[in-house]
Amino acid sequence: MQLFILHSCKTNRLLQSLRFKHLYAFSHLWFKTTYECADESFLRPPMDSIPQPFKFLLQGASGIWEQDDKLSQRIIEILLRSLEDGLDHKKYYESEFKNGHGYLRIINYTPLKCLDDEVEGLGMHTDMSCVTIVYQDQIGGLQVKSREGKWMDINPCEETLVVNIGDMLQAWSNEKFRSSEHRVILKKPVNRFSLAFFWCFEDEKVIFAPDEVVGEGYARI
């Protein structure tokens, strides 16, 4: 399994498209019921047109939410180790991140009837999470903005997950980690599916960069 971590510049804009439909769930058990109850506003595709592993979720498969939660915690631990030499990463994980939680989102980008050119399925935005784990199908379309302002394709790769740094971690790290600016482009007249797991701080937490993370002689942003 490979992890591709994205981080770049920050934006406060969130542009949603009519082609973008999603289902939220705090565990895998919600997906099957929610899908079965979806109305025409979700533009629900036939089950036999949905690729794996999304079909597993909608059929009530277990374990994916729990695995993503554990992986998110492991990613946070690795990122904390990379922050500063001598930083007590175990202390900050226990005090700041231990009570974090995540939620899954299965996303269906519905195609246009006539797609003569590329269109935005979801406009440029950053994630509000600490980290986001993304699995995209083989259709592709995910792009990230480089520091030079150019859009780069993040092409699907078998057994590879994309990890986005989110706004919460950017704020807590005093912008030492940068939230990735990204979007989705629809290139083909077919449904595009992706699975995103957003791992966040606990509810109502006040996000504040610790002095040791800010560093001596640096201003808190």
| pLDDT for the residue 81 | 92
DSSP secondary structure, 170-185, as one string: HHHTTTSS-PPPEEEE
Question: According to the model, what pLDDT value does residue 191 have?
Answer: 78
The three-state secondary structure class of 129 is coil
Give ∠ CA 21-57-115 in degrees, rounded to 5: 35
**CA 93 centroid distance within chain:** 20
Check: CB of residue 17 under 8 Å from CB of residue 121.
yes
Q: Give me the pLDDT at residue 113, please.
A: 67
- From residue 79, alpha-carbon distances to 5, 34, 75, 142, 152 in Å are 10, 34, 6, 23, 23
Which residue ranges make up each domain of the chain?
Answer: 2-36+50-202
**What is the identity of the amino acid at 48?**
D
Distance CA 3, CA 177 (A): 17
Q: What is the pLDDT of residue 58?
A: 58
Under CATH, which architecture does the 2-36+50-202 domain have? Sandwich (2.60)
Phi, psi angles (nearest 5°) of residue 21: -130, 140
Residue 71 has pLDDT above 50, yes or no: yes
d(CA 158, CA 140) in angstroms, rounded, equals 12
Taking the mean position of all CA atoms in its chain, how far away is CA 30? 19
When pLDDT is averaged across residues 120-135 and rounded to a whole number, the result is 89
pLDDT confidence tier of residue 96, bands split at 50, 70 and 90: very high
pLDDT band at 65 (very low <50, low <70, confident <90, very high): confident
Give the residue-averaged pLDDT of 160-171. Answer: 93
CB distance 95 to 87 below 8 Å: no
Band of pLDDT at residue 48, cut at 50, 70 and 90: low
Please, are residues 106 and 158 in contact by the beta-carbon 8 Å criterion? Answer: no
Tell me the three-class secondary structure of 90-150, residue by residue. Answer: HHHHHHHHCCCEEEEEEEEECCCCCCCCCEEEEEEECCCCCEEEEEECCCCCEEEECCCCC
Tell me what percent of the residues of the chain surpass a pLDDT of 70: 68
Evaluate if residue 45 carries a pLDDT over 80: no
pTM confidence score: 0.76
What is residue 62's DSSP assignment? -
d(CA 101, CA 168): 13
| Higher pLDDT, residue 195 or 21 | 195
